[in-house]
Amino acid sequence: MDDDPAVLKALSRLLRTHSFQARTFVSGKELLAALPTGLPQCLIVDLQMPEMNGLELHQHLVSNGITIPTILISAHDSVALSEHKPAFVANLRKPLQERVLFEAIEKAIGTRNTK
């Protein structure tokens, strides 16, 4: 999930080339509206989002009993990232390194499958 359409398109294309089914959302509200159709195996969310940022979205999900392994991405160094590190599978800085991203996704999916 990212509010930048170019980032969404590139990330979606990259995931699909590695045989992942990817759904993209431009906001937390859009993602929340789609949850009744099924929970994703993992989320990749941007820290900086309008209306509901990545931290707020994650906190909203957790407070409603929804557990989805989440990878937080950001273009900025942030104290918030280090403060909330245990809540996320990974905290990655943009531009994303492909190898690191896929390691985080495999970790997230493995976390999901062991619960």
pTM over 0.95: no
- CATH number of the domain residue 54 falls in: 3.40.50.2300
Check residue 79 and give its pLDDT: 53
Q: How many domains does the chain have?
A: 1
* Listed residue (74, 72, 69, 66) closest to 113, CA to CA: 69
Q: Determine the Cα–Cα distance for residues 103 and 14; give it in Å rounded to an integer.
A: 14
Those residues of the chain that have pLDDT short of 50 are 114-115
Query: Which residue in the block uniquely carries the two structure tokens 């957790």?
Result: 62
* Listed residue (5, 8, 35) closest to 22, CA to CA: 8
Boundaries of domain holding 24? 5-113
Using DSSP's 3-state secondary structure scheme, residue 11 falls into helix
Check residue 93 and give its pLDDT: 87
